[in-house]
Chains A and B, each alone.
Chain A
Amino acid sequence: MSGGPSRLPEGALASALSQQTERLSHCVHCGFCLPACPTYTRLGDEADSPRGRLHLMGAVVEGRLDPASEAFQLHMDRCLGCRACESVCPSGVEYGFLLERAREVAVSARQPSLVQRLLLGLIQRPALFLPWMWMSRLLRWSRIPALLGRGEAGAGRPGPLRLGAAMLAASAPPSLRVASFTGTRVQDREGEASGEPRGEVALLTGCVQDQLFRRVNQASRRVLAANGWTVVEVAGQGCCGALHAHGGRLSQAREMARRNLAAFQSAKPRYIVNNAAGCGAMMREYHELLGEDARELSHRVVDISSLLAGEGRRPRVGDPLAMTVTYDAPCHLLHAQAVSGVGEALLASIPELELRPLQRAEECCGGAGIYGITHPELGGEIGMDKARAVIASGADVLATGNPGCMMQIGAHLRLLGSEIQVVHPIELLDESYRSAGLYES
């Protein structure tokens, strides 16, 4: 029926999961996670649910299931890692943590797909990553992806070329139709940040964010400065390692985390600000990879929307932006970091901006790091559902705070022929500040 203990990988790798018996045991099989899981709700197979995957992990630990088996490989691989299950788990099962250990066991038992190995390999090596990104930007500039990636409602599933083109096109700067502002400026209100000096922060510039979304990093620096934060540049930082950790390459992720730990520890900023939710979630969990040494740093990591609009804080007010916006909370902010409402609060601080509700905003967009590329079929189905919900909101702009989500949702909007623009929430605040002349000094 299933493999005996002898078929488990030897030594340390098997123990990656075996050491987690205690964490696994918290699952009592209540099934409350099932409806929160995007893969389960679409496939109906319990093996594609959080409870099912935990059961398979348990079977590996018990020696009843070979990690090289099709069952373990398929179902661990098919998880988005969105961690929506953690937000509804009464027993507090640390699913994301367990998934990464399970994937470490899975990829050491059997090599993952070529696409996955290629993508993770490229990101890890600057000598390959930078030219790749340079070419991507050149291609994006040519506007070929924008033409290639445009579809129409009712069109079938795109091929890899069209999907890739649409994703790349979606990373381009948005064209926001903002009527130039001529009315009365809103005066600073009590309780809002004014621009008074508050302390030093550092920005994680990231990998893809730095290469394809540099404008978001620049907007972040300006907005932070306008709110009184001194942004210090931290040399020696790099990719956060999240994609590698999610893919089960924990040793590589650890290496990347260690480099960032050293870089940021020497800079000693008050906060390490992230504008990519996936990277923020990863850095906030560095201590789980690197041990107690990293805990202090992990606690100083904060998402930019949290820093500006969390816990009742209100960002400085700029000019009105008369536009309709809907917001999709990145899963790694809402579920992995358990931070809710801040993206909405940040957008609501912009005068005259109308925030439209988004149905099933708590559900993953299917981008999930590189999932949209490695699992185009299921990721595409989830992405299409998200894009349709965005269209149904009636908004002209979708704001979301993670590069993967921006590219996935933007791509699927394009593939449906929609003109809805995709932005990072901070870009809108930046636009509001620019219009108000906050940057003219």
Chain B
Amino acid sequence: MSQVTATLEPSLIRTLSGIVGERAVITDPERLLVYESDGLTQYRYPPSAVVLPASVGELQRVIRTLHEADRPFVARGAGTGLSGGALAVDGAVVVTTTRMNRILEVDVENRRARAEPGAINAHLTTAAAPFGLYYAPDPSSQSACTLGGNVAENSGGPHCLKYGVTTRYVTGLTVVLPDGELLRLGGMGQETPGLDLVGLFVGSEGCFGVVAEIEVQLLPRPEGVRTLLALFDSLEEAATAVSRIIETGLLPAALEIMDQATIQAVEDSVFAAGIPRDAAAALVVEFDGIEVTLDAEMAAAREICQDSGAREVRTAAQAEEREALWKGRKKAFGAMGRIAPDLMVQDATVPRSRLPQVLARIGEIGRRYDLLVANVFHAGDGNLHPNLLFDRNDPDELRRVEEASREIMEVCIEAGGTITGEHGVGLDKRKYLPLVLSHSVLEAMGQVKAAFDPDGRCNPGKVLPDEYLISTKDPR
């Protein structure tokens, strides 16, 4: 992997400009600095160029041109990813989908929507709202992240505990393969004839091609929603409450935990939700569905929280209170800049029953490496997000973050978990992949990748370790 920016030949720049217009091809290395990082700032890989197509046709012609010029490329949406998945390793050309940002259709009768890849996740729900419909996957960055990125990462979110992640909602895709071929996969039906290529594409982290259009299923808004906020004097108690809620057989729409450092960062921000700053942990429990069941479910959850040691249990009585709580929760990552200049958001999943022990171990790792760790996570899914806070200008601290990250991963794997819950492997977790996947599984993945991208030009340097990449020619 190199960080060197390989400049584009003038003839290639001319061809690309001819397709998308001169202003939509950026090659000035200084203007490209902005694209050297995505939501994960530890890495800097400036691209050789950024191309901004505005339509499926332009996108296809751009990819075909890059194929003919034998150039590596990587698709990028809003650049909110947290595994470095959209970074331009090997001087790849960044193909940005932000100008392809329209919601194309909301088909109310069939509860389907079609959108361009650069459309913002939350905009889809806004477009569907007048019809009583919404798009269920709600990553915390949903106000900014794109549907194309969601498909690539198979994104989750707080409410995926009950409703499942992106793949459950994608019913059809139009994709451009690395050689420029345009394919329509699936569409309309829940089940498509033949092999499930839509399922294969969702979560492929941009390694198989570029998504050009997305068809998703929408859900009707549930009749009722109830939200509860339980405050605890220890993180472990909150985690215990989560395990017990799941054990009882309750199915909340969301079960989210924020620790004290996170609560304080959020309460200092414009998204302050009124959570007491002295609480060691705040647990948000939400139920939705038909009205008659909700109060009983809330009562049961309340009791479990109190039995687990909650010092206070509140109910969000008004829609505004619930909204404030969710805003605070979803913007928590962005608020970490109040604590430290840089952060490493870790993403790992453990069995929910092991949450209390794993959280205790993470706390201990943080203390041992002298790092501030702020936890904010999808507790119901056992999906942890320890935020390691640091200053990149301190090389020793940077090294400690790296080592602590690895130890946290090891602890999660040891507890029967895995190295990512929703952020993807991307660039950052590539090194951990062999810790959780066997040699033969990695080989199989290499073969699937080669079937879509025989030249190895599509999102180079991501997901699979180099030794598992099969390519007809070595691009490096």
A binding-site residues for B, Cβ under 8 Å: 1-2, 25-35, 40-41, 44-47, 51-52, 55-56, 59, 64-66, 69-72, 74-75, 87-93, 338
Contacts A34-B144, A44-B99, A45-B50; A90 near B269 (Cβ below 8 A): yes
Q: Which of B33, B41, B338 contacts A71 (CB 8 A)?
A: B33
Can you spell out 9 A-B residue pairs with CB atoms less than 8 angstroms apart? Answer: A26-B338, A31-B141, A44-B98, A45-B96, A55-B34, A70-B31, A72-B30, A90-B333, A91-B269
Contact B271 A90 (CB under 8 A): yes
A354 to B337, CA, bound (A): 43
Nearest B-chain residue to A52, judged by Cβ: B34
Contacts A44-B99, A70-B28; A35 near B33 (Cβ below 8 A): no
Contact B80 A30 (CB under 8 A): yes
Nearest B-chain residue to A64, judged by Cβ: B33
Known contacts A51-B34, A88-B270; can you find 9 more A-B pairs with CB under 8 A?
Answer: A29-B40, A31-B38, A31-B39, A33-B144, A44-B96, A47-B26, A71-B31, A91-B334, A91-B338
A418 to B98, CA, bound (A): 32
Contacts A32-B334, A90-B269, A93-B337; A46 near B30 (Cβ below 8 A): no
CB proximity to A under 8 Å, residues B335-388: 335-338, 341-343
Contacts of A338 in B (CB 8 A): 270
Contacts of A65 in B (CB 8 A): 30, 33
Contacts of A59 in B (CB 8 A): 33
Within the complex, the shortest CB–CB distance from B184 to chain A, in Å, comes to 25
Contact B30 A2 (CB under 8 A): yes
Contacts of B338 in A (CB 8 A): 26, 91-92
Q: B37 in the interface, Cβ–Cβ < 8 Å?
A: yes
A105 to B35, CA, bound (A): 22
Contacts of A28 in B (CB 8 A): 41, 333-334, 336-337, 341-343
Within the complex, the shortest CB–CB distance from A381 to chain B, in Å, comes to 13
Contact B335 A46 (CB under 8 A): no
Nearest B-chain residue to A3, judged by Cβ: B30
Q: Which of A29, A66, A90 contacts B39 (CB 8 A)?
A: A29
**Contact mask for chain B residues 78-116; partner A; CB cutoff 8 A; 1 contact, 0 none:** 111000000000000000101101000000000000000
Nearest A-chain residue to B122, judged by Cβ: A35
Contact A71 B30 (CB under 8 A): yes
For the complex of A and B, the 6 pairs showing the least CB-CB separation, nearest first, are A91-B337, A90-B334, A25-B341, A71-B30, A30-B334, A44-B98
A34 to B77, CA, bound (A): 11
A68 to B343, CA, bound (A): 31
Contact A1 B29 (CB under 8 A): yes
Within the complex, the shortest CB–CB distance from B288 to chain A, in Å, comes to 25
Q: B293 in the interface, Cβ–Cβ < 8 Å?
A: no
Contact B268 A46 (CB under 8 A): no
Q: B52 in the interface, Cβ–Cβ < 8 Å?
A: yes
Contact B331 A32 (CB under 8 A): yes
A195 to B445, CA, bound (A): 78
Contacts A70-B31, A89-B270, A90-B271; A30 near B26 (Cβ below 8 A): no
Nearest A-chain residue to B50, judged by Cβ: A45
Contacts of B52 in A (CB 8 A): 44-45
A205 to B279, CA, bound (A): 49
**Contact mask for chain B residues 264-297; partner A; CB cutoff 8 A; 1 contact, 0 none:** 0110111100000000000000000000000000
Within the complex, the shortest CB–CB distance from B338 to chain A, in Å, comes to 5
Q: Which of A40, A69, A91 contacts B336 (CB 8 A)?
A: A91
Q: Which of A25, A29, A40, A90 contacts B270 (CB 8 A)?
A: A90
Within the complex, the shortest CB–CB distance from B145 to chain A, in Å, comes to 8
A41 to B144, CA, bound (A): 11
Contact B33 A32 (CB under 8 A): no
**Contact mask for chain B residues 9-51; partner A; CB cutoff 8 A; 1 contact, 0 none:** 0000000000000001010111101110111110000100010
A69 to B30, CA, bound (A): 8
Contact B34 A46 (CB under 8 A): yes
Contact A1 B144 (CB under 8 A): no
Nearest B-chain residue to A62, judged by Cβ: B393
Nearest B-chain residue to A72, judged by Cβ: B30
Contact A2 B33 (CB under 8 A): yes
Contacts A26-B337, A28-B343, A32-B141; A45 near B26 (Cβ below 8 A): yes
Contacts of B238 in A (CB 8 A): none
Q: B332 in the interface, Cβ–Cβ < 8 Å?
A: yes
Q: B190 in the interface, Cβ–Cβ < 8 Å?
A: no
Contact B38 A56 (CB under 8 A): no
Name, among A87, A91, A92, the residue most crowded by chain B CB atoms within 10 Å (CB to CB).
Answer: A91
Nearest B-chain residue to A42, judged by Cβ: B99
Name, among A27, A32, A69, the residue most crowded by chain B CB atoms within 10 Å (CB to CB).
Answer: A32
Q: Which of A29, A41, A64, A66 contacts B38 (CB 8 A)?
A: A29
A28 to B336, CA, bound (A): 7
Contacts of B270 in A (CB 8 A): 87-90, 92, 338
A64 to B5, CA, bound (A): 15
Contacts of B266 in A (CB 8 A): 90
Contacts of A33 in B (CB 8 A): 144
Contact B28 A71 (CB under 8 A): yes
Q: B253 in the interface, Cβ–Cβ < 8 Å?
A: no
Nearest A-chain residue to B5, judged by Cβ: A1
A44 to B54, CA, bound (A): 10
Contacts of B5 in A (CB 8 A): 1
Contact A74 B334 (CB under 8 A): no
Contact A46 B141 (CB under 8 A): no
Within the complex, the shortest CB–CB distance from A123 to chain B, in Å, comes to 31
Contacts of B99 in A (CB 8 A): 44
Contacts of B212 in A (CB 8 A): none
Contacts of A75 in B (CB 8 A): 31
A35 to B98, CA, bound (A): 10
A64 to B31, CA, bound (A): 12
Contacts of A29 in B (CB 8 A): 37-41
Within the complex, the shortest CB–CB distance from A67 to chain B, in Å, comes to 11
Within the complex, the shortest CB–CB distance from A72 to chain B, in Å, comes to 7
Q: Which of A44, A55, A90 contacts B335 (CB 8 A)?
A: A90
Nearest B-chain residue to A338, judged by Cβ: B270
A338 to B272, CA, bound (A): 14
**Contact mask for chain B residues 245-277; partner A; CB cutoff 8 A; 1 contact, 0 none:** 000000000000000000001101111000000
Contact B269 A74 (CB under 8 A): no
A91 to B28, CA, bound (A): 30
Name, among A25, A34, A40, A51, the residue most crowded by chain B CB atoms within 10 Å (CB to CB).
Answer: A34
A316 to B143, CA, bound (A): 40
Contact B39 A30 (CB under 8 A): yes
Contacts of B50 in A (CB 8 A): 45
Within the complex, the shortest CB–CB distance from A204 to chain B, in Å, comes to 27
Nearest B-chain residue to A30, judged by Cβ: B334
Q: B207 in the interface, Cβ–Cβ < 8 Å?
A: no
CB proximity to A under 8 Å, residues B107-152: 118, 120, 141, 143-145
Nearest A-chain residue to B94, judged by Cβ: A46
Q: Which of A31, A45, A47 contacts B80 (CB 8 A)?
A: A31
Q: Which of B31, B79, B332, B391 contacts A90 (CB 8 A)?
A: B332
